[in-house]
Structure 1
């Protein structure tokens, strides 16, 4: 809301400034003209001019005032033309700025829709993997266990093969579980964002026992859009992946804050992740696309993404996203909002 009100005030100020400047300059010109006329009348400027130029009558210097008047009128006309051109350029620039803002908003909307479509497809694929392949793998494992029990005292080879089938089914089931977790965060739809993040961080605690993870949640995270929930979760997920690559023995602090609603707007979501690892030199181009993807996700929702780091000083990123990002307009169907209950994380 603040980002929208400030440009409006700036446009209103820029619209009033040229008019006030023109009025002020015109008043100055009139005042200077009156003062000059009074001075010329006081000192008989025309008579003095005639006295000085009488000796050079052959050069027609007495016609110089009329020439200067024509020059002054020409300069005034020239200045007016330039002023009109400047006004046209200003109007053209404002029109281009509005068009650029419209295109930027349209680009963000399309990017948000693309991310939403991607997550919807991932949700569908995760459900199919869980419902279809999961139950068949369980059936295969149960059948193999039955074969194992029946053949344990009869056929050694059948017993061995049944054990191999059970192991293969268990391995595939675990792999599918990992794919499902990558496609759709566990607990996000059922328990909300804070609990899903805590579950994700708990998994990283097991993978990186030498690192220390802290999650602090402040504010109400009910009724956020699905796109916003996914974007925030993916931000933390990508940040933890970077920790596993570059700061495996660091202390990682994650803050998830929702600012309260006010007259200026509905508030915003702020996600900050900081570690005390080796850090990096941001002036050197990075080969990975993780940070680029994080920035694109945030900016697609109309937010801001900032990073700070230097060698030996750790790494920090901060994302600020409007709390209403991803929610449909009043005229649109409410398909993206997430109405699942949210449990507060410890």
Structure 2
């Protein structure tokens, strides 16, 4: 996981005024203590008597030289302090710019995903309404031709049967395309029903795996962007199971519930209405420290973070795979939904 830029900025910020005053107080205290010790033990006289016999080596000029050296070191430290302050300000500006660019990038990614899903829904409707209608008409006409031939024209009867089979095959293929473009039942019956249908489909495709789906909460007032994000999240997770954990036990949990977080006023708890999606399997797992060539996890993270959520994964070799996404329940409501 990437480090928080705000925490790194605060770590590199200049010390507060209280810390500066405390340090100055320590310097003043040490100086006064040195003066008291010098007065008590007559350090200057002792140093003079020690260096007076070595005047030919100019050691009697050592105190003055050390004083100039201390002034020079203080000037050097002050210059470095100014440079450090300037560098901290520059770093803070760069981090603010990076945060702004990251927010713009996520907003653009969210708009691109919404435009993609809108186009997919439009194409699914066109395929269902236009091509489905004409394919149904072709099938009915072919059945009418078959009935009219009445066995007297074997060639026409055979061709009409072929047309009916071809129309049925194309209709099934279009149905598969529509399901890939737009989840079945998502618009008509809601997110829970669409997820149950999706999991049932994977139960048929992966008979060696076991699936458990638990859904708690009300999902009726979610935005279309959030609905499709949650569905695609589960869909991508199940696709990864089919690739890497075909014989595993998969547990999928989705809940909508408020989560209390510490508030800013008098430590009061602030409830946050959020949706949590967790999927875990006991498959072979993976080493997350190694680079991955696939874009599935990256796409899942981008979808979740584009809506202001959090996405976390955990996995180790031979110890399964788990991902958890937290998304605000109001995400996407401010965006135009068509």
Under a length normalisation based on structure 2, what TM-score does the superposition of the two structures give?
A: 0.85
Structure 2 residue 295 is the aligned partner of structure 1 residue 298: no
Is 1:320 the counterpart of 2:326? The answer is yes
Equivalent residue number for residue 197 of structure 1:
195
Superimposed CA distance per residue, residues 24-76 of structure 1 (whole angstroms, 9 cap, x where no aligned partner):
22111100111111222223333333333333344454443333322222221
Tell me which of 249, 271, 275 is aligned to 1:269: 275
Supply the distance in 2 between the matched residues of 1:196 and 1:47 (Cα, whole angstroms): 93
- Report the equivalent of 1:3: none
8 Å CA contact 1:266–1:324 kept in 2: the answer is: no
Would the alpha carbon gap of residues 66 and 248 (structure 1) be closer, same or farther in structure 2, given more than 3 Å must change? closer
Q: How far has the Cα of 1:225 moved from its partner?
A: 2.8
**Aligned residue in 1 for 2:65:** 67
Report whether the alignment pairs 1:93 with 2:91: yes
- Residues 147-156 or 137-146, more deviating: 147-156
Change (3 A) 1:11 1:249: closer
Structure-2 separation of matches of 1:160 and 1:304: 59
Unaligned runs of 5+ in 1: 1-5, 329-333, 338-346
- The answer to whether the aligner puts 1:335 opposite 2:333 as a matched pair is no
Long gaps (5+) in structure 2? 261-268
Kindly provide the CA deviation profile for residues 112-163 of structure 1, in whole angstroms up to 9, marking residues without a partner as x. 1111111111011111111111111111111122222222143222222111
| Shift of residue 198, structure 1, vs aligned partner | 0.7
Match of 2:263 in 1: none
Contact 1:219–1:260 (Cα < 8 Å) also in 2: no
Aligned mates of 2:206, 2:233 — CA distance in 1: 19
Higher RCO structure (Cα 8 Å, ≥6 apart) = 1
Residue 126 of structure 1 aligns to a residue whose secondary structure is helix
CA shift, 1:308, in A, is 3.5
Normalising by structure 1, we get a TM-score of: 0.83
| Corresponding residue of 2:110 | 112
Aligned to 1:256: 254
Gap change, CA 1:137 and 1:17, over 3 Å in 2: same
**Alignment partners' CA distance in 1, 2:16 and 2:79:** 15
Question: 1:25 corresponds to which residue?
Answer: 23
In structure 2, do the counterparts of structure 1 residues 282 and 69 end up closer, same or farther at CA, with 3 Å as the change threshold?
closer
Please identify, of 70-79 and 49-58, the stretch whose mean Cα deviation from structure 2 is larger.
49-58
Which residue, 31, 36, 39 being the options, matches 1:38? 36
Match of 1:225 among 220, 223, 226: 223
Aligned equivalent of 2:266: none
Point out the more displaced range, 42-51 or 136-145: 42-51
TM-fit CA distance, 1:275: 2.3
Count, aligned residues = 327
Tell me, yes or no, if structure 1 residue 163 matches structure 2 residue 161: yes
- Give the direction of change, closer, same or farther, for the CA distance of 1:287–1:229 in structure 2 (3 Å limit): same
Q: CA RMSD in A?
A: 2.8
Give 1:21 shift.
3.0
Mapped to 1, the partners of 2:80 and 2:247 lie a distance apart of: 66
Change (3 A) 1:152 1:313: farther
Cα distance change on mapping 1:92 and 1:121 into 2, 3 Å = same
Matched-pair contact (CA < 8 Å) for 2:285–2:321: yes
**8 Å Cα contact 2:106/2:302 also seen in 1:** no
Residue number in structure 2 paired with 1:340? none
